[in-house]
Structures are given as structure tokens and as C-alpha cells.
Amino acid sequence: MPERALPNTLPRPPEELERLEHAWKPPSGWRWFSAVNNTQVGVLYIATALLFFVLAGVLGLLMRAQLAVPENTLLSADTYNQVFTMHGTVMMFLFAVPMVEAIAVYLLPNMLGARDLPFPRLSAYAFWAYAVGGLVFFCTIFFGASPDGGWFMYPPLTGTEFSPGTNADWWLLGIGFIEISAIAGAIELIIGILLTRAPGMSLGKMPVYAWSMLVVGFMIVFAFPAIIAGTLLLEMERAFDWPFFIAERGGDPVLWQHLFWFFGHPEVYIIFLPAAGMVSMMVPVVARTPLVGHRAVVVALVGVGFFSFALWVHHMFTAGLGAMSMALVSAASMAVAIPSGIQVFAWIATLWRGRAQMNSITLFLIGFLFIFVLGGLTGVMVAVVPFDWQVHDSYFIVAHFHYVLIGGMVFPMFAALYYWLPLLNGNRLSERLAKWVFGLMFAGFNLAFFPMHISGLLGMPRRVYTYADGLGLNGLNLLSTVGAFVLAAGVVLFLVDLIRTVRLPSRPHEDPWGAPTLEWLPNESYGVRSIPQIEGRDPLWQRPSLSEEVESGRHWLPGTVTGARETLITSPISARILHLVQLPGDGWTPFIAALGTAGFFLLLTVKLIALAFACGLTALVAILVWLWQSDRAPAQLTARIGGHHDVPIAAAGSAKHAWWAMVLLLVVDATIFASLAFAHIHVSMRADVCPPPGAALPAAHWPLLSAGLLIAGSAALFFSRRLLRSRTAVTLLVILAMACATGAFAAEFLGHREAGLAPSTHAWSATVSAMLAFQGLHVFLLLIMGGYVIARAACGLLKERASASLDSAALMWHYVTLQGLVLAGLVNFLPAWMG
């Protein structure tokens, strides 16, 4: 396959453009809910995240109004706890991470030169699950049912003894499934970045923002499973009295802190890195010069992502951990400032080398640099263990993380909205109002949060709803409250201007900033008219005629070959064209599946079990219908995409992008299981005797029988892929594998039942039961996948170029086999090793 399209190719005939527009025509009217294209879903995603930003901000203003004067009675203690918990939860879970993914869903396909993300229905599912679940979760504040244990939900305060109602359950079940939505979005973005870049856009030529989202995608894959595991354990403790975190029965409240902060500290950088990537895109534009130290900035992004996983104990310096672990984490907490500093110096050097235009974007970028650097300096301070002991759980920490999070994410987000909003309808926000917006936000932010450093040093604790008079805190708290309302006034002014701008008539967006990257190419609902051949990092600067060439169809894929939605799959490193892939069009299944998923988790919270399982079944059926429609053999084997260049349509096995998505999903799965295994090891090491009194290990023949059956089932799936042309052979082998998986789990379960496993008596037994339940859930999924493969084989739909169902089932089968072997070894041989 040639590496570049010929620039002198003649413009394509108008018939091709008409077919392209017809294939990508967005739905209208009530069918709007069925849209899956990134341009529609991305706008909805961003708007919903902004809504939660405003709602969380209102809750923050209520908190500041309560704390404006001592001994205030505006909010009761219980109400304040709910408002405080919801403010942090909504900001972190419903605004920050979703906004990060929302902007990526909207921007990345065009920035990478792709027609859409590779799994558009997955994007739609992730959005609707987040939007519906998030709105229902937020509405609990109006009924006094919101969680009140803090956004970190530390046990034992969130156990049934101290939180007997459903408040904590709303957090555990509601936020737990919203994290599943975030993981779905991360898998979509990783595959999209690695496999759908424009031809020639090697990793070295990829925009920094795409690099930041690639790093963040992998961080989500490895960090978010820990909080999912933690919420599962805490909810099982509340629902079934399994004492994972109850010290009197062998549990440990610190276990929750380990699981939560293994997710929680990387989440800070999951929020910051995309903002840093956007800053690296905007700074060169306002300075009119390429980014200084491009390669160093990319390495720094990867470095921050790596270091972030070593910092979770940073939040636990006062929890009574060992001196060695605290020293190592303290060193890592300081070391992470190095790659962060590299990026800051690269931005300053770029502004210094160029000639910055003093506009709205530049104002917010300068404000970001000032605030984030201050937050980074206090971050180094709290990395020093003795200092952290003094200020931990004080308002100094509140000031620090707001400087990092608002400075590191919100100010760059506002700069990005001013920069990229013309892509929406061709209109720019008001530059005159932007100066007022920035002034109010910058002054209000510093007036609100800088005094908190001082009040924290004076001893004001976090998470209190009032304070006594005469402590020297009155003036500082009043200043913070005034600052919060000034900051809010800036946000309100921005929203007024945003609504005004969005309501203006649409027009071609052009390139108002003279930017160098592909998202500024002329595009419609299908993205660019033809997918460009890339020759450098700044294609629009290096080839000024590229816009005209792409718009006239002179590059790759100027129309639609099959009459459906399509994009190109390229190699992960060099972006060499591999094949063309057909993308699913608009449909109702993602919307229905999202509603069913949200209904399942939210109805479980209020104990409507039958209705919850009906919603879960609805979601499952919708997903199966969605998958059934997706995996079809193409009508033709090759496609002509560049005048006289032919490429394959679709692929099979590991060459297919769906195969790699399944691999990523299994990495998430394995990380959840690793978190459960960590919990088991943690409570085992705390026990005086392992297994503890009253618990016993199953007889040796049970785990051996289970292991043998698991291996046999995997072997059957392995050979079924080799016998794909024989419908009967595939069906028989899949049935055999299903029987083996069921028998393996039955053997493991009967062995523990014979040994008298009682999960409510001790945390060791509870962690064993949790891992066993997790394995049982996977066996249930194997049975569904096996039945699905048999149904496709019976209908004659299982073919070499339509084998994703069998390939995915085989991957899952091999993973469940490995998980079952690890489970048996961990439970049966860990006690002997510890002894």
C-alpha cells in the first residue's frame, strides 16, 4: 500500500459526496435519541458535564454560605454532610472525568483525521448510562437520601452501623456503574487513537492531546477497577454482612483507603493530563510557533501517568503505615513534580519564543499556569511527611487540591471552550465579555481558596459544618465565601455568553486562530470529505493547500464504498493503512441498553429487586441485539479508497479492532480481580492464623477437578476456532466448553461448601466468597457468550470475516480459566506459604 495519496488526483464527482452525506445523515426529531455519531454524542456529553459542573458549584456555594460566619444555622449538620458529599462526588465523578472523555469524543476523530471513533454505539451507551444515572443520583439531594459519608466514603462511618439507610448505597451502586461508563469510554478512545489515525500520522506525528488521552485511557483501565472492586466489597458488607472492613471480625477499614486511593490519586492526573494536552495544543497557536520540546512533553505525559500509580499512600500518611512505605511514597510524590515541571517549562518557552496574542485563550492559559504552579508547590509541601501530619484534614489540603484541580483542569477547560467552540457552529464567544469572565473567575478563585491555606495552618479542620467564634477564622472564612460568589459570577457570565453564541445561526467554522491540526479542516457530520495523508506534526502549517485538497476529495476514502459509514484502520505505530471498516449507524439499542443498565443499579439501591433484574435483562437483550447487528461479513472483499488503491474490507482475529477492545476489557477485568485478591491477601496477613478459626480449606481434589475442567473448556474453544467452517463441530465444542465451565465452578463451590465456608463470620471467608462470586459471574457470562456463538453458528453467520463473537468468547474463556487457576492457588496455597 503506498504511503501517500497523490496530490494531483482529480476532484471526486458530486455523486460520491451525495452518497457520503446520505450515509452519515444525522437523525432528527424524536430519533435524535438514537444518534451515535461522535459529533452529536460529543456535544451532548459536554453539555451534560457542564450541567453537573454548575450543579456541583451551587452545592459549593451552599457550603461557603454556611461557613461564612461562625455557628451558622443555614444548613443542619446532616444536610451539610449530604451537600458536602454530593459536591465532591459530582465534581469528581460526574463532571471532571466525564468532561475529559466528552471533549475527547467530540474532538479526537477530527483531530486524528478519522470519520468517527471505532465503536460509536459504545460511545452512545457510555454517555446515556452516565447522563441518566448521574441525573437520578443527583436528584437524591432533594429527598434527603444523598450519601453523607464524604466523597471518599470511608468505613466504618459508611457501614450499616453508622449509616443504616440507603444514603451510602446510592453512592456505592450509582457511582460504581458510572465508572463502568468511564471505562467503556476509555476503551473506545484507546482503540480509536491507536488504530484510526490518518495515514502517515505515526506516533511521532500524533498531536500531544491525542497522546495525553492515550495515557489517560490506559490510566483509567488500570485505576478505575480498584474503586469498582472497593464499592463491590463495601456494598456486599452492607447488604450481606460480609465483614471486609469491620475490624472486630478480621476486616480492616484501611483496606478501603488502599483501594480508594489507588484509584483516587491517579484520578487527579486523569483529570489534569487531558487539560495539559489541550494546553500543549493551544499554546503554540497563540504563540504562532511550534511547541518547544515536543518529544520531552510526550515523555513527561507518560512519566506523570506512571508515577501517579505510586502515590496512593500519599493520602494515607496519617493512617499508621510503616516508615519505609511512607518514605518511598514521599519520594515518589516529589518526583512526579519533575515531568509536570517539564511541561510547564515547555509552555513558558513556547510563549517566550513566539509572539503571544493577548486574547481570551491566552488569559485563561496564563491564569492556569499561575494557579497550577501554586498548587504544585503546595503539593510538594504535603509530600513531606512531618508537614503532612500537621496539615492533614485541615483546610490547607482543601486549598491545595482546589488549586491543583481547578487550576489544572477548569481554567484549561475554559480556554479550550473559547478555542474550539467555533467548531460547533462557526461562531466565537465574545472577546469583550471574556475579559470580564476571566477577571471574575481568576480573582474570585484566589480570593476563595488562597485564604484557606492560612485558615488551615491556623487549625480549621476539613469536613465540619460550623466553627466556634473567637478562633481567628471569621475574616478568612468570610473572604473565602465572597471569593466563591465572585467566581460563580464569572461562570454565570460565561454561560450567558455561551447560550447566546450557540443560538446564533450556524456557518462554516473556518480556522479563526490559524491552527495547525486536522480538526480545523472543513468537516460535516461525516468528518472530513477525504481522509488526509499526513506528513508532519503541524499539517495545516506545513501544507497550506491541505484544506482545499481534502474538501475536494483528493485524498483517501473521498466517499463511501459500501454505502455505509466507514473509516480506515491503520497500524498502531506508523499509521500504515491496513483495511477499511464499516461502522454501525444510528440505532436505539445503545439508548435502551443504557436505560436498562441505569435502572438495574439504581433500582437495586431502593431494593426493588424484581424490577431491577427486569431492567438488567432488558439491557442484556439490547446489547445482544446490538452485537448481532454489528458482526456481519462484508458484501465485498476489497474497497477502492484512493483513486486506484484497493484495501481489504474488515479483518479477522487479532487484526480486528474489536479483538483488541476485548483484550483491554479483560485487562480491566483482571485488575478488578487483582483488587479482590489484594483484599484477600491484606486480611490474610492481618489474621493471627490463616485460615482463621472456624474456616477451613476445601479438600485437594475439588480445586484440582475445577482446574482440569477449566483447562478442558479452554481447549475446546481453541479447537472450535480452528474448525470454523464446520457449523456442527463449532456447536459441539462450544457446548462442551460450557459444560466444563459450569462443572469447574460447581466443583469449586461444592468444595468450599463442604469445608463450611461462612462469609459473615470472618473477613477471610468473606474475601474468599467475594472472589468465588466474581468467578461465578464470569461463568454466567461464558454461558451467555456460548449460547450467542451457537445461535450465530446455527444461522450461518459465523464466518472467517464475521468471527468476532467466537474470537471474543475464546478470549474470555481463556481469561476465566486463568482467573479460576489463580483463585484456586491463592485460596488453597497462600495459607501454606504464609505459614
State the residue for C-alpha cell 493512617.
Answer: 319
Find the mean pLDDT for residues 506-513: 88
Give the tens place of pLDDT for each residue, 291-332: 999 999 999 999 999 989 988 888 888 888 888 888 888 888
**Best CA proximity match to 121, nearest among 31, 37, 196:** 37
Mean pLDDT value of segment 112-129: 93
Residue 92 pLDDT exceeds 50: yes
Maximal CA-CA distance, the chain: 84
Rounded to whole angstroms, the Cα distance separating 308 from 566 reads: 37
Instruction: Work out whether strand 577-583 and strand 523-524 pair parallel, antiparallel, or are unpaired.
Output: unpaired
Q: What is the 3-state secondary structure (H, E, C) of 27-47?
A: CCHHHHHHCCCHHHHHHHHHH
CA distance 762 to 760: 6
Give strand pairing partners of 583. Answer: 565
Tell me if 531 sits within 8 A of 556, measured CB to CB: yes
Can you give the C-alpha Rg of the chain in angstroms?
27
- Alpha-helical segments (H) within 241-252: none
pLDDT tens for each residue of 705-719? 999 999 999 999 999
709: which 3 cell numbers?
Answer: 475442567
Q: Sign of the C-alpha dihedral, residues 337, 340, 343, 349?
A: negative
Q: Does the pLDDT at position 835 exceed 90?
A: no
- The size of the chain, in residues, is 835
Contact 227, 260 (CB under 8 A): yes
Query: What nine digits make up the cell of 23?
Result: 450515509
CA–CA gap between residue 72 and residue 745 (Å, rounded): 58
Confidence of residue 12 (pLDDT cuts 50, 70, 90): low
For the ranges 244-248, 370-374, 560-564, 619-623, the lowest mean pLDDT is seen at 560-564
Backbone angles phi, psi at 467, to 5 degrees: -155, 160
* Ramachandran quadrant class, 742 (left: phi over 0; alpha: psi -120 to 50; beta: rest): alpha
Burial 561-596 (b: 16+ CB within 10 A, else e): beeebbbbbbeeeebebbbbbbbbbbbebbbbbbbb
Report the candidate in 139, 150, 50 with the shortest Cα–Cα distance to residue 100. 50
Give residues with Cβ within 8 angstroms of 324, minimum separation 6. Answer: none
Instruction: Give the angle subtended at the CA of 265 by the CAs of 262 and 266, to the nearest 5°.
Output: 85
The pLDDT assigned to 11 comes to: 62
Q: What is the pLDDT of residues 145-198, one digit of tens each?
A: 999 999 999 999 999 989 998 999 999 988 877 888 899 999 999 999 999 999
The model's pTM is 0.95
| Mean pLDDT calculated for residue range 526-535 | 91
d(CA 461, CA 467) in angstroms, rounded, equals 9
Tell whether omega for the bond before 156 is within 30 degrees of 0, i.e. cis: yes
Q: Are 522 and 546 in contact (CB under 8 A)?
A: no
User: What stretches of 534-575 show up as alpha helix (H) in DSSP?
Assistant: 539-542, 546-551
Mean pLDDT of 650-671: 91
| pLDDT of 832 | 60
Is residue 60 over pLDDT 70? Answer: yes
Question: Which cell goes with 684?
Answer: 490474610
DSSP characters for 763-791?
A: HHHHHHHHHHHHHHHHHHHHHHHHHHHHH
Which residue, 139, 116, 124, 126, is CA-closest to 51? Answer: 139
Q: What rounded mean pLDDT belongs to the chain?
A: 91
What cell does 811 get? Answer: 478470549
Tell me which of 14 and 693 has the higher pLDDT: 693
Q: Report the run of H or E that residue 16 belongs to, with start and end.
A: helix 14-23
Whether residue 477 is predicted with pLDDT greater than 80 in this model: the reply is yes
What are the pLDDT digits (tens) for 352-396?
999 888 899 999 999 999 999 999 999 999 999 999 999 999 999
CA dihedral 464, 470, 472, 478 (to 10 degrees): 60
Contact in structure between 723 and 732 (CB atoms under 8 Å): no
> How far apart are the C-alpha atoms of 819 and 674, rounded to whole Å?
10
Beta strand 565-570 with 527-528 is unpaired
- Interatomic CA distance for residues 226 and 232, integer angstroms: 10
Residue 394's φ and ψ, nearest 5 degrees, are: -115, 175
Instruction: Provide the residue type at 814 as one letter.
Output: H
Count of Cβ atoms closer than 10 Å to residue 621 Cβ:
14
What is the structure's pLDDT at 5?
Answer: 47
Residues whose CB falls within 8 Å of the CB of residue 595, separated by 6 or more in sequence, listed in order: 128, 132, 615, 618, 619
Helix (H/G/I), strand (E/B), else coil: 603: helix
